[in-house]
Amino acid sequence: MHIAEGVLSPAVLGTGAVLTAAGTFIGLRRLDMNRLMTVAMLSAAFFVGSLVHVPIGVGNVHLLLNGLLGVLLGWAAVPAILVALSLQALFFQFGGLTTLGVNTATMGCAAVVAGWCFTALTGILPGSRGLKVAAFCGGALGVLVAALLTACALAGTDEGLVVAAKMLLVAHLPIMFIEGCITMLAVAFMARVRPEMLASRLSGRRGHPCDDVEDAVETPRQERG
Amino acid sequence: MNIDDASFVRPSPIGRLDPRVRFLLAIAATVSIALFRDPLACALALCLGAILALAARLPPGTILRRLALVNVFVLFVWCVTPFTTPGDIAFQWHGIAVTRQGLYLATLIALKTNAIFLVFCALICSMLPSTAVQVLERFHCPEKLVLLFLCCVRYIHVLADEWENLWVAARLRGFEPGTNRHTYRTIASLLGLLLVRSYDRAGRVWEAMRLRGFNGRFGGMATFDAGVADIAFGIALACALAALWLVNAGAPWGPADPPLSWGRELFPGWNRG
């Protein structure tokens, strides 16, 4: 979800930047060095996946996938989204420097909320059906919260944009449903093929096989002055 | 899926400047333009953006296509805000009222969006992604974030190729996307497969990097040094921005509050407001 540059008011831009900085800080602190490559790779997959167009009726929509990323990564989704959105701005000029904060904040908050919802629901409803319900809610919530926050950003800029914000929100309702379905099916697929990808989230353990190696790389020393 | 990550990287006067100087100037310029409230200052900023885009020798076809894409949102704003912003009525037609404040807001958004877009393309998109990440490293961005950037840049093309393979394989088996359950199931499975493969690849790459003694930092090859030309360009652009701020100084700060005289020349039937 990209708001173009030059639309939002300074207050909204500033709030977005602060939220993104805080989220990135938390995400990076919780990100273990051994998981860094996984997060980078999933961030690249998020970039590629969000270029995929899904047909709906006569037109097509592109996926957001922030819900799925939140389900897989939790807080680490915020830096992953920051990286992917910066590169989208650099490659295709979707968004830009000043709106990067707001765009990352809307998508990142939604991803974190989707991750919480997924963890909570899988706790309440164990089994494969619970997993599917949780994944659907995670995916749908990712779009819903992102659309809500984007609408708030527009509405908070100027009262003249309130109607535009409402239209944007309504336009995202079908996308929410599709995103939920896709997330549900993709998570079910991963649970069958590579359950450890989800296991790291569900049990709070680190998931990757190479995480078990004892002499893990330490956080690099500060070599600069 | 063809991802072109260097469509604006051209040999040009701006391309030769120090990336650090360009980065700082781009931040100063885009933040300034985002803060402007005066239409004249925004229009001048658009001219500045056009001059920078010309100096960066951006390919005209690509830049116009991207500009059109950005202006889809501007068009949406123009279709909605003039009618929905409360304020003084500029003119009325069969009960549909257009307000002065709405027109003012839509004009500001159109000018600012295009101006920031051109400045961003000319100064930032004209450097390679790896150079941009090295600039971040020089500015003491957190190391983990820099690593995330570098690894993500490195593998985007690999994963895009992987997606292309999956997609072509599906199409060869007769997959025809449409609005139905089968399509969604297939796309979800392909996405799941892409994620599974990237997860596996991340494990392999990380193990390989550690076997080679990776200690958390890549040694960059680029050396940056700012010369006379860089400093001169920096001062010139800073002066231009200061001039724009002076032009903007008279503008009101409130949201969509046009000065009373604004736009009378543009719309003759304006005086009713």
A178 and B117 within 8 Å at the Cβ level: the answer is no
Among partner residues A43, A84, A91, which is closest to B5 by beta-carbon distance? A91
Given the cut 0.90, state whether the ipTM is greater than it.
no
Instruction: Looking at the complex, report in whole angstroms how far the Cα of residue B228 sits from the nearest Cα belonging to chain A.
Output: 27
Q: Which of A1, A97, A131, A169 to mutate to test binding with chain B, by most B CBs within 10 Å of its CB?
A: A97
Amino acid B271: pLDDT: 47
Position A137 scores a pLDDT of 95
Asked if B30 and A5 come within 8 Å (Cβ–Cβ), the reply is: yes
Residues A139, A183: contact at Cβ < 8 Å? yes
- Asked if residues B87 and B105 have their Cβ atoms less than 8 Å apart, the reply is no
Mutation pick from B130, B206, B218 vs chain A, by most beta carbons of A within 10 Å, is: B206
The answer to whether residue B14 is domain-embedded is no
* Cβ-contact A84, A50 below 8 angstroms: yes
User: Would you report the helix, strand and coil content of chain B in percent, each value rounded to 5?
Assistant: 65, 5, 30
Of B187, B211, B235, which marks where a domain is finished?
Answer: B211
Does any domain span residue B235?
A: yes
The Cα-based distances of A210 to A207, B165, B197, B207 in angstroms read 9, 28, 16, 7
Question: For residue B61, is it within any domain?
Answer: yes
* A68/A72 Cα distance (integer angstroms): 6
Same domain, B207 and B253: no
Helix (H, G, I), strand (E, B) or coil at A55: strand
Based on the structure, what is the number of domains in chain B? 2
Identify whether B3 is part of a domain.
Answer: no
Residue B179 lies in a domain: yes
| Rounded-to-integer distance, Cα B78 and Cα A213, Å | 58
Specify the DSSP element, H or E, that contains A62: strand A59-62
A155 closest CA partner among A106, A110, A122: A106
Q: Which residues contact A151 (CB under 8 A, 6 or more apart)?
A: A165, A166, A168, A169
- Better-scored residue on pLDDT, B86 or A52: A52
Which residues in chain B (131-190) have CB-CB distances under 8 A to chain A?
Answer: 132, 140, 142-145, 147-153, 155-156, 158-160, 163, 177-179, 183-185, 187-189
Tell me: do B36 and B103 sit in the same domain. Answer: yes
Chain B residue with CA closest to A51: the answer is B1
Tell me, yes or no, whether B135 lies in a domain.
no
Q: What is the per-residue pLDDT for A203? A: 45
Report the residue from A31, A49, A157 with minimal CB separation from B191.
A49
- Are B164 and B205 within one domain? yes
Do residues A190 and B194 make contact, with C-beta atoms less than 8 angstroms apart?
no
- B188 with B62, same domain: the answer is no
Structural domain for B179, as ranges: 141-211
- In a shared domain, residues B153 and B262: no
What's residue B112's pLDDT?
Answer: 92
**Does one domain contain both B89 and B122?**
yes
**Are the beta carbons of B153 and B129 closer than 8 angstroms?**
yes
Residue B220, Cβ neighbours under 10 Å: how many? Answer: 15
Question: A10-53+61-206: which CATH topology?
Answer: Arp2/3 complex 21 kDa subunit ARPC3 (1.10.1760)
B122, B54: one domain: yes
- Position A200 confidence tier, pLDDT thresholds 50, 70, 90: low
Do the domain assignments include residue B4? no
What is the spatial distance between Cα B209 and Cα A33, in angstroms, rounded to a whole number?
Answer: 12
A41/B189 touch (CB, cutoff 8 Å), yes or no: no
pLDDT above 70: residue A224: no
Q: Give the pLDDT means over successive 10-residue stretches in chain B (273 positions).
A: 77 87 93 89 94 92 89 88 81 81 87 92 89 88 91 92 94 90 92 94 93 80 80 93 87 57 53 44
Per-residue pLDDT, averaged over A170-192, amounts to 92
* CA pair distance A144, A175, nearest whole angstrom: 9
Q: Do both B115 and B177 map to the same domain? A: no
Same domain, B231 and B193: no
Check CB contact of B97 with chain A, cutoff 8 Å.
no
